[in-house]
Structure 1
Amino acid sequence: MMLPVIRSGGGRRPPPRLPTDGANEARMTQGHPAAHPGDGQPHPPVQAYPAAPPGFPAAPGYRPPGAYPVGPGQPGFGPYPPVPPPRPKSRRGLWIGIGAGVLVLTLCAGTAVGVGVGLSERGEDAAPKAAAAANGVTVTQQELDDLLARHSKALADKDLKAYLAPFDPARKDLVAGQTRLFTNLGKLPLAVGRYRTVAQQGRTTDSFGRGVSFQLDVSFVHQFEGYDLTPVAEWYRWTVVRETRGAPLKVTAVTGAPAALGNSKTVYYPGPWDKWGDIHVERTAHTLVITDAALAAEAKRYARVAEAAVADDFAAWQAGGVTADIPKGFVISLVKGKADLGSLYRVNKEETTEAGVSIGMVSTERQNGVDIGGSRIVVDVGDRSFFAPGDTKGPREIFRHEVGHSLVASLEDADKQDFFDGIENWIVEGFAEYLAHRGEPLRASDRTAQARSLVRSGDWDGTLPSNVDWDSPGRVSFHYWLGHAAMTHLAEKYGEQKLFQFVTARYRGATADQASQQVLGIPLAQFQSGWTAYVRAQAR
């Protein structure tokens, strides 16, 4: 399987709605790791994707697209004359790549440690081995597997006593936290919920009879019934202790497993069930909204908005005529504030500026070619770029945008994407923006006024923005608009079905030029030439 590199993907930065000074841009981010680990049947690494241990998610090694910016100051926003601020941007691709890479490196690191220990032990003389067998303290892999099997069974049986059995009863805070986790997990529609070993670090054997303490990375393999296409995984790091020969194993600490790569410090940790002592779960026909119990009122209010956004995006997808395995529903969490937005399903290393994010979850079992088994949408309902009092347009847009990222995430073939760059953001974000504003003219976008100003000023070279330049200061919102304009032009000139076919082809591994040739019948350069003229006409 592949290790997940956690990258932010599928989010959105808000376009300026009010006059801004370039210092307050919000964005929506789209992110999903790429890899396809196997639960017991690891897949060989392909291209830049390393393989992960059985039962663990592969590492997404490419940059996930999809995020929304929140105002000038972030890429895409800059000091502009008093105009409505653009909405946030999405960074889905970044999340994906990071997630995959993280998992990969983490697994590789753990494997290296295990191999080193094994080789060292094989090199020992027979006498010390005999002494260790007689007097030593040892923890075997079979013991760890059995421990996690019992832990998995306890969760499935809803047996709290058995679930808490591995945790040191003297660590009251740890036991209390695991009790809350058990209760939270019991509120969720888990079709799959099991624990597997990822890797371990530290001594598991002491020949002199002293106790051993080591770190065990554990994946929580889970699948939400009706939402995830395949099982996905969150990674924990357990500190495991055996004090004397024959003593029971004790877990004395639990945290998130550190990510080796990407902009998250952890691998899909913490989930809402870890982060909040009491979660509230709100379900609609196609959404599973999980929030802190303190946001139950917001969950009830915005679950209806999210459901309507899903219905809109599903209708667009059906009209697009593409046949593909897509999710039947989406898992959404609502937060208030950037601190919570940047610490759910990730621990952001960078400043969190987006207003929403779609994080792709790497499949632990690659089924029917699906690399991304599901996604987790997180939206900051405290962000005034989309959730100002009385604003009904903003919430609809951000949910449509993030759902749009999650809708096509499972189409992405990680093996055929560039490990470092991924799909072009003008396609990823442009498609999500198109869905956010579908049914409206391009001029209705809050980003249009700013974009027209830049085009009229002559400060634009007429080309599609590259991923390298995407976050250029003062340009993020403009780049979102250019992607939106590209998708709108494609739909108007060639038909909306061609738009969906083009995006699908790119996600499935065709280059942008190949997708243009296959779907539109022209090279990408010719499409870009027509699009440039279209953009300049929009700016008149």
Structure 2
Amino acid sequence: MEDPSHPGVPPAHFVPQYGPPPPAWPPAFAPPPPPKRSPTTGILAALAAVLLAAAAAAVIFWPGTDETAQADATGKPTRPPTAFELAVETLHRQAEALVKGDEKGWLAPVDPKNKALVTRYRTMFTNLRRLEISHAEFHADKLEGSTPQKVVTQAALGYCFSGVTCPAWRNNYDEGPAKATYRLTFTLTGTTWRITELNDAAGVEHNYLQPAPWDNRALTFVKGKRVIVAGPSSQAKRLKQVLTLAEKAAKVTDKYAGYVNNPQRRYRVYLADEAGWKKWYGGIDEKWVIGYEMPLNSTGGDIILRARAGGDQRQLAVTIQHELTHVVTLAGGHWENTDDQWLVEGIAEYIGALPRKPQDTGNHDVLAESFRRRGAPETIAVPSLADGADDLTVNTLYAMGHYATACMAAKFGERKLMQFTNLVLREAKKPDEAARTAYGKSFSAVDKACLSWIRDRV
């Protein structure tokens, strides 16, 4: 899944907010402010989402070190390990301690005199354990600046949650397990090598998955049968409300995950205050975005909601269900064709709005306006959004995607719709090949039939 302007970077899937930012999210989820994107109709296109690019990710390689101790015929090393090798062994023990829930072992190599560093590591440990970390591994490369008394490393923590099958390590950010990279300094204190400095900015190549919500900030958690919801302490009273809606949404998306054989062990939803919203995963500047899904490579995805955006309970429920759909229809796949944005967002609109039909949502009014002003599109596979696309173009893509997927469900059934979706989005098949396999018809035939179906309902 690559953004065309930033190769190698999985796109985040956004849900916008329309209208001026409302006051802080009240416990009862107050009604949304007046709409902005469709001013002539007054309709809130609540789930139209703009596919914005994450920052470009650089590939980082961790080559095999030439400092590895050699073994003789008896299997015993011919020399003692180097300082760098000792540092790597320390990181391996830390990863093992993290997975085992051994906080003492995780903190053991951290310089106890550096209180801020100890707090940082303790926070990481607590958050990752509450998020059900089930796999962790460190890979490191020695950097310039090392001395006999100091070892400077670039260390990458690969991680997976909730017992998912963790993919094999890959030397770049958009493959293998999700990664967090740090510049770590080990200093010899007496006879012990201690971590005395952690820097996740200077000297570290950019990683679009940093900073993760769990890194360097204490979070509050609530957990249901299918979903973990987390947020800063300021949002603690709202987490249960989000959890209730997310658990209900998970029951819906679990059904469709079963259709594509992509069950999720857990869903994770973060409720971000303004500090988290501006920082997590690089931050979001656009005022109209209220939520997004960030893929964690093949292992699932994180949902980020903007607490300040609020909206009524129905809007929030649809937003969550839309974003969970992105997780089940994209995670673990090989989607690379940016021409398929209509389907990426269309299937999320379709499942997110259930049980309502598209003609019972704001997308009906979006298409009515779009058809009146610009005429009906010539294909259901409307072009993907270009940078700077205007509001009506954005809304039309999501509305057409919603209607197109609803049409295919009505004509062929949901199981075949999901087969088609899976073939295109997770198996990287072209729409025509996918349509012939799933529907027994060419995509042009499906396209023609659905265009007529949509016109009859708008």
TM-score bracket for this pair, using the shorter chain length:
0.7 to 0.9
Matches of 2:154 and 2:364, distance apart in 1: 51
Matches of 2:53 and 2:445, distance apart in 1: 28
SS in 2 for 1:509: coil
1:395 is aligned to 2:316: yes
1:406 is aligned to 2:327: yes
| Mapping of residues 472-491 of structure 1, within 5 Å | 472-474=389-391, 475-491=393-409
Q: Following TM superposition, by how much is the alpha carbon of 1:310 offset from its aligned partner in structure 2, in angstroms?
A: 1.0
Matches of 1:350 and 1:139, distance apart in 2: 43
1:235 is aligned to 2:175: no
The answer to whether the 8 A contact 2:185-2:195 is kept is: yes
The answer to whether the 8 A contact 2:127-2:214 is kept is: yes
**Deviation digits for residues 69-117 of structure 1 (CA, Å, limit 9, x no counterpart):** x9988xxx4x63151232244467956xx7xx73xx3323x54xx88xx
The answer to whether the 8 A contact 1:13-1:355 is kept is: yes
Matches of 2:101 and 2:266, distance apart in 1: 26
Partner residue in 2 for 1:37 = none
Matches of 1:351 and 1:259, distance apart in 2: 27
Partner residue in 1 for 2:303 = 377
Q: Following TM superposition, by how much is the alpha carbon of 1:519 offset from its aligned partner in structure 2, in angstroms?
A: 1.7
Matches of 1:191 and 1:446, distance apart in 2: 41
The answer to whether the 8 A contact 1:149-1:195 is kept is: yes
Q: Following TM superposition, by how much is the alpha carbon of 1:375 offset from its aligned partner in structure 2, in angstroms?
A: 1.6
Matches of 1:93 and 1:515, distance apart in 2: 27
Partner residue in 1 for 2:455 = 536
Classify 1:80/1:107 alpha carbon distance in 2 versus 1 (closer, same or farther; 3 Å).
same
One of 7, 13, 19 as aligned partner of 2:10: 7
Partner residue in 2 for 1:357 = 292
Partner residue in 2 for 1:29 = none
Larger RCO (CA under 8 A, 6+ residues apart)? 1
Partner residue in 2 for 1:154 = 97
Matches of 1:529 and 1:336, distance apart in 2: 45
Partner residue in 2 for 1:39 = none
The answer to whether the 8 A contact 1:201-1:214 is kept is: yes
Matches of 2:184 and 2:367, distance apart in 1: 53
One of 167, 174, 184 as aligned partner of 2:117: 174
One of 496, 518, 528 as aligned partner of 2:437: 518
The answer to whether the 8 A contact 1:429-1:480 is kept is: yes
Classify 1:154/1:315 alpha carbon distance in 2 versus 1 (closer, same or farther; 3 Å).
closer
TM-score, normalisation: structure 2: 0.79
Q: Following TM superposition, by how much is the alpha carbon of 1:165 offset from its aligned partner in structure 2, in angstroms?
A: 3.1
Q: Following TM superposition, by how much is the alpha carbon of 1:488 offset from its aligned partner in structure 2, in angstroms?
A: 1.1
Classify 1:251/1:405 alpha carbon distance in 2 versus 1 (closer, same or farther; 3 Å).
same
The answer to whether the 8 A contact 1:8-1:91 is kept is: no
The answer to whether the 8 A contact 2:187-2:196 is kept is: no
Matches of 2:244 and 2:439, distance apart in 1: 37
The answer to whether the 8 A contact 2:109-2:194 is kept is: yes
The number of aligned residues is 418
| Mapping of residues 64-103 of structure 1, within 5 Å | 77=37, 80-90=39-49, 102=57
Partner residue in 2 for 1:57 = none
SS in 2 for 1:222: strand
Classify 1:333/1:212 alpha carbon distance in 2 versus 1 (closer, same or farther; 3 Å).
same
Partner residue in 1 for 2:73 = none
The answer to whether the 8 A contact 2:300-2:332 is kept is: no
One of 294, 301, 308 as aligned partner of 2:234: 294
One of 382, 396, 418 as aligned partner of 1:465: 382
Classify 1:430/1:214 alpha carbon distance in 2 versus 1 (closer, same or farther; 3 Å).
same
Partner residue in 1 for 2:60 = 107
Classify 1:89/1:470 alpha carbon distance in 2 versus 1 (closer, same or farther; 3 Å).
farther
1:436 is aligned to 2:352: yes
Partner residue in 2 for 1:124 = none
Classify 1:356/1:465 alpha carbon distance in 2 versus 1 (closer, same or farther; 3 Å).
same
1:327 is aligned to 2:264: yes
Q: Which amino acid aligns with 1:191?
A: S
Partner residue in 2 for 1:368 = none
Matches of 2:178 and 2:34, distance apart in 1: 33
1:195 is aligned to 2:137: yes
1:343 is aligned to 2:264: no
TM-score, normalisation: structure 1: 0.68
| Mapping of residues 483-502 of structure 1, within 5 Å | 483-502=401-420
Partner residue in 2 for 1:266 = 207
Partner residue in 1 for 2:197 = 252
Question: Structure 1: which 5+ residue stretches go unaligned?
Answer: 26-69, 120-132, 363-371
Q: Which amino acid aligns with 2:271?
A: L
The answer to whether the 8 A contact 2:99-2:133 is kept is: no
Q: Following TM superposition, by how much is the alpha carbon of 1:259 offset from its aligned partner in structure 2, in angstroms?
A: 8.0
Classify 1:185/1:325 alpha carbon distance in 2 versus 1 (closer, same or farther; 3 Å).
closer
Classify 1:460/1:342 alpha carbon distance in 2 versus 1 (closer, same or farther; 3 Å).
farther
Classify 1:361/1:213 alpha carbon distance in 2 versus 1 (closer, same or farther; 3 Å).
same
Classify 1:267/1:215 alpha carbon distance in 2 versus 1 (closer, same or farther; 3 Å).
farther
Matches of 2:232 and 2:120, distance apart in 1: 15
Classify 1:106/1:214 alpha carbon distance in 2 versus 1 (closer, same or farther; 3 Å).
farther
Partner residue in 2 for 1:281 = 221
